[in-house]
Structure formats: C-alpha cells, structure tokens
Amino acid sequence: MNSLTPSAGEYMRGALELAADFMSRGYMDLEECNLLAKDYDPVILRFFEGDVPMMLAKGGTVSGTEKRESRSEAFQANPFRYSFHPVPSTDEGGYFMDMVSMGFSVNRYSEKVDMANEFIRFLASTNALNRMAQAKRMVTPCKDTSLDKIYAAFGQLPPDHTINLAELGLADAPDTQVRKAGWLVSNGMMTVDEAVAAFGKIE
C-alpha cells in the first residue's frame, strides 16, 4: 500500500463495504450534513442542538466540545450528557486507531540542552501526559482512559482492538487514499469496486 500499487486497493475493500453498508441503512442525513460548511466548529454546535442522536467524529473534534458548550444557547438551555465511543464496525466490536502526535525541537547548540531534555522527560511522564490530555480534552496516550468520562468507553476495549498507526507503518499517501475512498463511497460518488480499482489515483 505504501508504494501505491494499484492491486493493493483490495486491502480497502472490507472497510469500504462496511462504510457502504452503514450508509445504506439511512442513519445519516447527507443533505443535513452538507449544510455544514466545515467539519469542526459547525458540527459541534449542530450536535449541541440536541435533536440528533450521534455525531461521528475523531478525537480532535471531541476535544473541542467542552469549550463550545458555553457557546451553544441550546446546550445551555437544555444540557445533556454525551460521551465518545468506538463504532462497533465488526462482529467483534469497535477498534481504536491511536494516532499519537508529539513533537519537540531542541537546539543542539544550546547551553541548556540537558535542561531541555530533562523537561521533555518530565512531559513524557504518565502523570504529565494525563494532565495535559485532561486540559486539552484529548485521549490520553496512556493506558488508563477513564480520566475523562467522555473517553471511558475506550478503556473497555480489548488490548488487541487498539491499533497504533505508528506501529502499523502506513504512510501518509495510502492513508489519504483510504480516507478519500471512504468519503467518496459514503457519499455515493463511487462504488466499492470503483474505489478499489482507483487506489493510488484517487483525487
């Protein structure tokens, strides 16, 4: 897949069939979704109107919910509890695609390199990572996800249902192809067979 070999598109088939099946069941109102110009702020505020049962989102979107509760008049008038759950996409249940994003830059010519390295070690400790995750309402990179009740369901997943993207070794190019294929199939703009055949050339 990393080489974008066309035949590798077959690896997408199972996921695309799941997406096509889900969309065929009428759970999603695409016309309503298309009224939202962006997939972050407007989605969160629309969800807080309280008249839709679920919002499909990634962790980055969920992290923005808490700070937008006060911006929603509907939510302030009628607050409700909500939480983030893995979608049960197989007979064995849901999976969690764990994408850790962390980067530090240290000037190797600095007179304080040792201090910078020590600070990084502190930030990479379990307690510090958990505190930062709580402050940003992100999924903690540590094993205990119960710190924020909104993510508690992920702690109930079997260990083999967490897929670490870094360990998986999937490069950006095929990852983008799979995401675009999923979007096109979900929106009825491509069939599963067409998307599989177009792997590596999807724009």
Reported as a single tens digit per residue, the pLDDT across 63-108 is: 899 999 999 999 999 999 999 988 877 788 888 887 776 677 888 8
pLDDT tens readout for residues 151-162: 888 888 888 888
Q: Please give the model's pTM, rounded to 2 decimal places.
A: 0.75
User: What confidence score (pLDDT) does residue 48 get?
Assistant: 96
Residue spans of alpha helices (H) in 63-191 = 73-77, 113-123, 126-136, 165-168, 172-186
Query: Could you report how far apart the first and last alpha carbons of the chain are, in Å?
Result: 16
> How is the chain split into domains, by residue range?
6-197
